[in-house]
């Protein structure tokens, strides 16, 4: 069950979550498309943001404070079309007391990479 | 100046409730009223809402400069984006995204977008996008 209503509403599902790592998948629907017949870049970046936020939550633990995306970049290497299964994996690469960095990749079911992204999170400490 | 041809909004932006407010040569403005459906687990706007609207707006403004018919003959696609999330927004807020083109070349185009809160004009996010023009040639 996804805690993010926005990503949940896209029909994405959470496939795996463990400390510092998460994986989501989504079958591209007609209403996920951007211009032409390719998936909208916003679908991919939304999944990257959420995948990494979940990976970070798993790493920090449920008792930790909130974390918020403050910077994101993504490179779109190829596209996906209606009916394609897209998998997004995210891994936290560095964690400090105040900031965390993660990298995400999106693949089609044939294993072809279609996007790479990096997200920076600002961390709050848990309140007593 | 109105670009020639008709520019249609993408299916995904329609799905999430985005609205095109202005489409003129060199300026595209979109808006969206945030609901609970746009939130992340923190109860504030999901970053994917902003990246979606910005990608759409910058793609649109590049289309407005290139011309709709030219774009259809040789479409442009996002290859790179960078977004800074500066402040948050909550359900009930209206988000306004304005996009401008920095440069539209033969094989690549560059644009910027600013997202702000409609109520007080506070900047929520800024982004920069690079598009490749497929089939572009001199």
In 3D space, the residue among B80, B67, B68, B134 whose CA is nearest the CA of residue B106 turns out to be B134
Specify the pTM: 0.92
**Of residues A32, A46, A70, nearest to B46 (C-beta):** A46
- Predicted pLDDT at A48: 98
Closest-CA residue in chain B for A77? B79
CATH of domain A5-123: 3.10.129.10
Tell me the sheet residues that pair with A81. Answer: A38
Confidence of residue A106 (pLDDT cuts 50, 70, 90): very high
Kindly state the percentage of chain A with pLDDT values over 90.
87
Could you read off the pLDDT of A55-101 as tens digits, one per residue? 999 999 988 999 999 999 999 999 999 999 999 999 999 999 999 99
**Of residues B12, B56, B77, nearest to A76 (C-beta):** B77
Distance (Å, whole) CA B10 – CA B17: 11
How many Cα atoms occupy the beta-carbon half-sphere of A103 within 13 Å? 4
Residues in chain B within 8 Å Cβ distance of A7: 46, 48
Distance to chain A for B85, nearest Cα, Å? 5
Find all residues with CB under 8 Å of B32, minimum gap 6, and list them.
Answer: B16, B17, B18, B19, B38, B49, B53, B94, B95, B97
Average pLDDT per consecutive 10 residues, chain B (138 residues; last block may be shorter)? 66 96 96 96 95 97 94 93 96 97 95 96 97 72
Please give the average per-residue pLDDT across A107-121, as a whole number: 96
- Predicted pLDDT at A62: 86
Please give the average per-residue pLDDT across A22-30, as a whole number: 97
Query: Best mutation site among B45, B46, B71, B89 for testing chain A: the one with the most A CBs within 10 Å?
Result: B46
- Predicted pLDDT at B137: 46
Distance (Å, whole) CA B58 – CA B64: 10
In 3D space, the residue among B97, B78, B70 whose CA is nearest the CA of residue B16 turns out to be B97
A1 or A102, greater pLDDT: A102
Find all residues with CB under 8 Å of A51, minimum gap 6, and list them.
Answer: A22, A23, A24, A88, A89, A90, A104
- Predicted pLDDT at B8: 82
Distance (Å, whole) CA B113 – CA A122: 22
Q: Report the Cα A41 to chain-centroid distance in Å.
A: 12
Structural domains present in chain B: 11-133 (3.10.129.10)
Dihedrals phi, psi of A54, to nearest 5 degrees? -70, -45
Total Cβ atoms within 10 A of residue A17: 16
């Amino acid at each position: 069950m996804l805690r993010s209503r926005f990503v949940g509403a896209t029909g994405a599902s959470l496939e795996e979550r463990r400390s510092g790592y998460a994986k989501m998948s989504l079958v591209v629907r007609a209403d996920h498309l951007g211009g032409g017949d390719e998936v909208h870049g916003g679908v991919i970046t939304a999944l990257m943001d959420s995948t990494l936020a979940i990976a970070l939550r798993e790493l920090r633990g449920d008792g930790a404070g909130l974390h918020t995306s403050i910077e994101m970049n993504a490179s779109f290497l190829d596209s996906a079309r209606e009916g394609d299964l897209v998998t997004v994996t995210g891994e936290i690469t560095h964690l400090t007391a105040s900031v965390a960095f993660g990298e995400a990749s999106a693949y089609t079911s044939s294993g072809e990479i279609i996007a790479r992204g990096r997200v920076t999170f600002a961390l709050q400490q848990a309140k007593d | 100046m109105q670009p020639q041809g008709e520019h249609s909004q993408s299916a995904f932006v329609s799905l999430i409730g985005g609205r095109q407010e202005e489409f003129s040569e060199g300026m595209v403005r979109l808006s969206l009223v945030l609901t609970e459906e746009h939130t992340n687990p923190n109860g504030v706007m999901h970053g994917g809402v902003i990246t979606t609207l910005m990608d759409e707006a910058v793609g649109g403004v590049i289309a407005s400069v290139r011309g709709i018919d030219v774009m259809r003959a040789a479409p442009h696609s996002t290859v790179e984006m960078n977004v800074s999330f500066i402040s948050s927004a909550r359900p009930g807020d209206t988000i306004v995204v304005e996009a401008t083109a920095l440069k539209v070349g033969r094989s690549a185009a560059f644009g910027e977008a600013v997202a702000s809160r409609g109520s007080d004009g506070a900047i929520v996010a800024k982004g920069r996008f690079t598009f490749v023009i497929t089939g572009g040639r001199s």
